[in-house]
Amino acid sequence: MVIAVYPGSFDPVTSGHVDIAERAAALFEQLIVAIYDTPPKPLLFTTEERVALMKKALSHLPNVRVESYSGLTVGFAKKVKAKVVVRGLRMSSDFEREFEMALMNKKLAPDLELICFMTNLEYEFVSSSLLKEVSSLGGCIDGLVPDHVAVALRDKFRR
């Protein structure tokens, strides 16, 4: 069985994240969406909230599970016996960062492969940071996040 890990902070999960997870789930026997517990950036949602939001967003995919983790992604991948790390690429700046991380991960875990999915064009501009900003200012994010995530964002920014 080939297990893949799709890591990220997912603060919050976007429709682009869901799209990547759906496409990866179609290729691997099991996909573990790994929600990083302590990324080096400020978070809006707690780890528990991010896990719950992602679980609901991906509940229609029977071969997907959602877990939180801390430490190195390669360490988590080894723990769950993953052979592949899945990442999404939106633009060329994403490629540069992913390439750098991929080389470090290859040094740390030579048997772990990286597969990058190109975003669908409709999500190319969508980032969690931008969605949080738009939502905090009362803008419409419908269609850019799952419906339950839009509600959670509105609740976080309710004045």
Backbone angles phi, psi at 149, to 5 degrees: -75, -40
Among 9, 17, 50, 87, the active-site one is 17
Among 90, 106, 148, 156, the active-site one is 90
What are the helix and strand counts (H, E) for the chain? Answer: 6, 5
Q: Where are the beta strands (DSSP E) in the chain?
A: 3-8, 30-36, 64-69, 84-89, 113-118
- Write out the H or E segment, with its range, that includes residue 135: helix 128-136
Q: Is 107 part of the annotated catalytic residue set?
A: no
Q: Is 90 part of the annotated catalytic residue set?
A: yes
Neighbours of 24 (CB within 10 A): 23
The answer to whether the bond into 12 is cis (omega within 30° of 0) is yes
Q: Is 135 part of the annotated catalytic residue set?
A: no
Among 9, 15, 87, 128, the active-site one is 128
Q: Is 17 part of the annotated catalytic residue set?
A: yes
Catalytic residues, by residue number, are: 17, 41, 90, 128
